[in-house]
Amino acid sequence: MEEQERELQLAEPLIMTMLMTPEMANFSGNVHGGAILKMLDQVAYACATHYSHHYAVTLSVDQVTFNKPVKVGELVTFYAQVNYVGRSTMEVGIKAVAEDIHSRQTRHTNSCYFTMVAVDSDGRPVTVPKLMLDSPKTKARYVAAKLRRQLRIEHDSTMQAIDLKWTDQLDTLSEQEIEDALNAEMENTRE
């Protein structure tokens, strides 16, 4: 699809509420991080497919923290929105809010950002509509998503460099170089 032919589309909000059931929980009654991650992935999938009118696959997810536990019996609402689109990629932001059904108290448990790719029935990437930015909020989220995209690229290349040096080319390092690097890292940890 030519750039000028790409239609503009609004990022419609997607909101999904789920009850946290006992099979999702560990022995202390908190929902497993993996169970939450699965729900987040489903929400990201639903949001990206709805926006692109194509199946979507997960390319990456960043910043999922599980430091605010979710309890069995609570309702969790996921607020999702496409924040940014590339040619075939979309960043879907999700905010998760847990609610105690008795007290009705709510708390924001986590936010995260999925990068999804729209694909055709053969699994090949397809062009998605351009994002229509209709408010200061959607514009600000677009800018933030673009900055996160740049950070991901930098992070990926740093990870590759670490992998190259400490895994693929490990044989090229002497025992002394490994010892020195270990001592330097131990020194950093003590500070």
Under the binding rule (CB under 6 A), the answer on residue 81 touching ligand GDP is: yes
Residues that bind ligand GDP (rule: CB under 6 A) add up to a total of 13
SS3 for the chain, per residue?
Answer: CCHHHCCEEECCCEEEEEECCHHHECCCCEECHHHHHHHHHHHHHHHHHHHHCCEEEEEEEECCCCCCCCECCCEEEEEEEEEEECCCEEEEEEEEEEECCCCCCEEEEEEEEEEEEEECCCCCECCCCEEECCCHHHHHHHHHHHHHHHHHHHHHHHHHHHHHHHHHCHHHCCHHHHHHHHHHHHHHHHC
- Four-residue CA torsion sign, 160, 161, 163, 167: positive
In the β-sheet with 89-99, what is the strand arrangement from edge to edge?
A: 14-19, 75-85, 89-99, 106-119, 55-62
Nearer to ligand GDP, 53 or 139 (CB): 139
Q: How far is the CB of 43 from ligand GDP (least distance, A)?
A: 10
Give, as ranges, the residues between 109 and 148 that touch ligand GDP (CB under 6 A).
111, 141, 144
Least separation, in Å, of the C-beta of 144 and ligand GDP? 6
Sole window of 10-18, 38-46, 157-165, 172-180 interacting with ligand GDP (rule: CB under 6 A): 10-18
Stretch that binds ligand GDP, among 53-61, 75-83, 126-134, 159-167 (CB under 6 A): 75-83
Q: Which is nearer to ligand GDP, 112 or 118 (CB)?
A: 112
- The reply to whether 89 sits near ligand GDP by the rule CB under 6 A is no
25 or 81: CB nearest ligand GDP: 81
Select the residue interacting with ligand GDP from 45, 51, 79, 114 (CB under 6 A).
79
For residues 35-74, which are near ligand GDP according to CB under 6 A? Answer: none
Shortest CB 180 distance to ligand GDP, Å: 42
Site of interaction with ligand GDP (CB under 6 A): 13-15, 79-81, 83, 93-95, 111, 141, 144
